Structure 1
Amino acid sequence: MTVDIRVVRAGQMYRYYLRETVVGDGRRPARTPLRAAQEQAGVPVGRWMGRGLAVLGLAPGGEVTEAQLRNRFGERGRHPDADRIEADRLAAGDSPKKAFKAGALGRRVTVTGVDFVFRPQPTIYLLWAFGDEETRRVIEAAHEYAIERVLEWIEDEVAVIRYGKDGVYRVRPPGGLVAARFRHYEARSGRPLLHDHLLLSVKGQRLENRRRLTPGSAKA
């Protein structure tokens, strides 16, 4: 298993991922909804991962929608369901400012995530590409297990939340982290290549039992 790492920033970087990564390694047709573009590209929908999902009221394995991606990675780290939260608060009589704040998760950040690209070793993905159906299923199951274990390791041993003046306090995020996983079957060249993009949010819950999340960091 090899892993490439790239920082994801709000703005142009996020828009690049939305156009050319979450729909497979090809350019997304203009004005095509996310799920339709994924179906056309022959890739599955993205799935949520991480222990931090419980804090946000999301379930592991749930589908990652375009609105959720925009809120979490494109809008400087808002709640994935910030649109619904804001609408509910407005309906309850909150001011627009208060309703918008309800969908925030701590202060806004420019770096919203880290893209971990997981690839099996060449001998493995070639066996996956040319093997029979059972072989492919076994390799994909092992591939997914490896991704899960790496994410658990990051949550338990690597991720650190900095808070307080000048980030003087550093703790492990007790609630875990949140990530969106996207499965691809081909490289940009068109050759068979099993790999996954894991967009890991850089925010995690503080030690206090609060819903608000604060910026963290994951170094691998």
Structure 2
Amino acid sequence: MKLAWIIAAGALICAGMLAAIQFSAPKALQLQTSYEFPSPQAIAPFTLTDQHGNTFDNADLLGQWNLFFIGYTSCPDVCPTTMGKLTAAYPSLSDEAALQIIFLSVDPKRDSTDTLLNYANFFNPEFIAVTGAHNQLYPVTRSLGFVYAMVGEGENYQVDHSASFALVSPKGEKVAIIKPKSDTPGKLPQIKNSALIHDVKAIMGKYENG
């Protein structure tokens, strides 16, 4: 009988420990349009130039959250639409934690400092617009999970590029990719502002409280 009690007590202890572990394990975030990396990802060293002619590098990512988007100012559709969405979402995105919106131009030939300054100011003067030579852009775009390619010849070439965002923590590490999503078959994928705001705030909260 005593052995039976010992076995029963051991089973209860094990069950309690298992329940405690499951209770204390962090719950996976319920994200609507994003992918959170299992662990933060380092970003390749980079040195770019912002719309004011100042150097912008990895050190400028430290101390606040950063949301990257790549494109070019001559983009006829995706870029201005996205910048408009970011302008509308920015007050909500930044109301709980400091956040930089960074437009990364991958068209250095046409996107001069003045062009980037006018472009950023049109949408929101608080946004940062940066660019650099292609040998400077390739490592950081790859590191952020973006791709781009020049299409066409002559002065009217276009640039194919990713339409996602990269969320970078105050430690300068990539923690998530916000991806376009379509809820309707045949409809062009997009990032809805409501989903963007929900996901960014959820990830920020996890890291701030972790």
TM over 0.5: no
TM-score, normalised by the number of residues in structure 1: 0.28
Q: Which has the larger radius of gyration?
A: 2
